[in-house]
Amino acid sequence: MDTVDSLEALLFVADTPVPLNTLAVSLELTEGQVEQGLEVLGERLAGKGALKLIEIAGGYQLCTKPEFVDIIARFLKPQKQRLSRSLMEVLAIIAYKQPITQAEIEAVRGVQSDYGVRGLLERRLVAEVGRKQTAGRPFLYGTTQQFLHQFNLNDISQLPELSSGLPVLQVEEGGIGS
Amino acid sequence: MALRTDAAALARKPQARKQRKEEAVTALGVVAPPPIQIESPNFNGSLATLFMCVRERKLDLLDIPLMPVCEAYFIYLLQAHVKDLDEAAAALSALAYLLERKAWALIPIAEPEPENEELLELIAPTAYEYDAAIAALQIWHEEREQVFFRPPDGGNDAYEIPFDIGNVTIQDLARAFEKLLTKVEPDEPKVLNKPRRSISEQMKVVMRVLSADWKALDELLKPPFTREDVVYWFLALLELIRLGQASVRLRKEEVEFSRSANQKNPAAKTPTPQHLNTQTP
């Protein structure tokens, strides 16, 4: 059985990003062999069809190509999730400073942040990752796999560095997954 | 002559004594200390000389051990058969002065804190420093919305059934609800532990009334009815629309409802969402 076809079959049925080691165990191959197969699969899909292979949230997953966004949107009528400025601010602070308590978030922002933290928890973009060993044992928050998935990130280390001066943002065209 | 000599001699004795007493007054102000000799590695001389040198800062007292000085004083007290207590007191005063000066010199002096010439450290990053990160996240989020993935929950989910309400807006539905609600007076407050009604049961009632013909809300719900009835009817209709069991349209600014085309059996079992299951009487 062809490795590339096998990978395509596994990734088709998977509804979450599949880590490399999981694919290797399922196919009884080494991770190197799986990586080679994924590379071939990626090139094959890029050449034709409506699907493409991306590496996201620590694994591999099939997704549709951007040129089909309008057709799919008419079919699915997805609800667009828009995060407000305050939610984005809280999310960015948690992403960079995690694990972090709500009080520490408020110390950075200078305003109360319980609404922002609650909103992100409901959207499953952040989660409670433990408790800080200080008086009161407040909750510690960190980002989730859902956060990586929703923001097209493979790993938290892909976040841009913070700078003390006015930041100059350079984002690659096409984003991380393309 | 001898008498004059003797008289002159007698006259010089008190003067000599007085002169000696005048010479005995030193910088201590009263009486000079007795000639107590001190021999130490860094000083050889009398106690008075040592006192003057220290007072005039000609000697560093830290280099001169005071143990020999104290020993010389005690030997003087014990062996010299002190007759003039003033001289002994002067010596003790000089010794005390030396001991006090040395004690002060031995106390460590706290180093002055260095002046902090460096700039104050910047306070912890404030929210504005995340502007670039927020902009990047927004861009990546928009790119992510251009692609679609297999949904994590496989199969049909009652909450994911796409329903079509055409050109009917939420405001239209609210207007129809409010219009019917204003036709009845508010209910009288009732006891709190009254039996609760069930939306799922109300949905069955509504399905029995709905037909293929389009009807407005006030045509579906016949009087007499209470405000509570209106609320339950409206909630049941909304749920049936969401589940695809009922349809809604806007006709001449009037919202009309009917049974969905795929619903043929008026007694069809309606799925009961779990969160709407409430206690029935």
Task: For A87-100, write each residue's pLDDT tens digit.
Answer: 899 999 999 999 99
Residue A14 shares a structural domain with residue A33: yes
Test A92 with B133 for CB contact under 8 angstroms: yes
- Shortest distance, CA B146 to any CA of chain A (angstroms): 5
- Write the ipTM: 0.75
DSSP class of residue B145 equals: T
Test A80 with B125 for CB contact under 8 angstroms: no
Strands (E) across B8-148 are located at 37-40, 43-46
Instruction: Return the domain boundaries, chain B.
Output: 15-106, 161-185+195-276
- Shortest distance, CA A157 to any CA of chain B (angstroms): 12
Test A76 with B137 for CB contact under 8 angstroms: no
Residue at which a domain ends, from A53, A75, A97: A75
Q: Across residues A2-23, what is the average pLDDT?
A: 92
**Which residues 6+ apart lie within 8 Å of B220 measured at CB?**
B206, B209, B210, B233, B257
Chain B CB within 8 Å of residue A92 CB: yes
Residue A38 shares a structural domain with residue A17: yes
Cβ proximity of A131 and A138 under 8 Å: yes
Angle at B134 between CA B130 and CA B137, to 5 degrees: 140
Chain B CB within 8 Å of residue A112 CB: no
Best residue of A70, A74, A88 to probe chain B, by most B CBs closer than 10 Å: A88
Nearest CB partner across the interface for A176, out of B140, B149, B151 = B140
Residue A26 shares a structural domain with residue A62: yes
pLDDT higher at B120 or B79 = B79
pLDDT higher at B109 or B216 = B216
Inside any domain, residue A175: no
**What's the topology of domain B161-185+195-276?**
Arc Repressor Mutant, subunit A (1.10.10)
Test B132 with A89 for CB contact under 8 angstroms: no
Test B149 with A63 for CB contact under 8 angstroms: yes
Q: Which residue of B has its CA nearest to A159?
A: B133
Chain B CB within 8 Å of residue A171 CB: yes
Q: Does the pLDDT value for residue B10 go beyond 90? A: no
Residue A111 shares a structural domain with residue A151: yes
**Number of folded domains that form chain A:** 2
Provide, rounded to the nearest whole percent, the portion of chain B with pLDDT above 70.
68
Nearest to B219, CA basis, from B266, B247, B167, B179:
B179
Inside any domain, residue A151: yes
Q: Could you report the per-residue pLDDT of A132-161, keeping only the tens digit for each?
A: 888 888 999 999 998 999 898 988 888 888
Q: Could you report the per-residue pLDDT of B72-114, keeping only the tens digit for each?
A: 888 887 776 666 777 788 888 888 888 888 888 888 877 766 6
Q: Does the pLDDT value for residue B126 go beyond 60? A: yes
Residue type, B281: P
pLDDT band for position B278 (50/70/90)?
very low
Residue A58 shares a structural domain with residue A93: no
pLDDT band for position B274 (50/70/90)?
very low
Chain A CB within 8 Å of residue B161 CB: no
pLDDT higher at A3 or B269 = A3
DSSP class of residue A80 equals: P
Inside any domain, residue A171: no
- Name the burial class of residue B105, with classes exposed (0-12), middle (13-18) and buried (19+) by CB atoms within 10 angstroms of its CB: exposed
Q: Could you report the per-residue pLDDT of B139-151, keeping only the tens digit for each?
A: 888 888 888 888 7
Angle at B180 between CA B258 and CA B191, to 5 degrees: 110
**Which residues 6+ apart lie within 8 Å of B98 measured at CB?**
B50, B51, B54, B61, B66, B69
CATH number where A46 lies: 1.10.10.10
Domain that holds residue A41: 3-75
- How far, rounded to the nearest angstrom, does the alpha carbon of residue A177 sit from its chain's CA centroid? 10
Residue A58 shares a structural domain with residue A101: no
Lowest mean pLDDT among A63-67, B120-124, B128-132, B235-239: B120-124
Task: Give the global pTM.
Answer: 0.44
Chain A CB within 8 Å of residue B8 CB: no
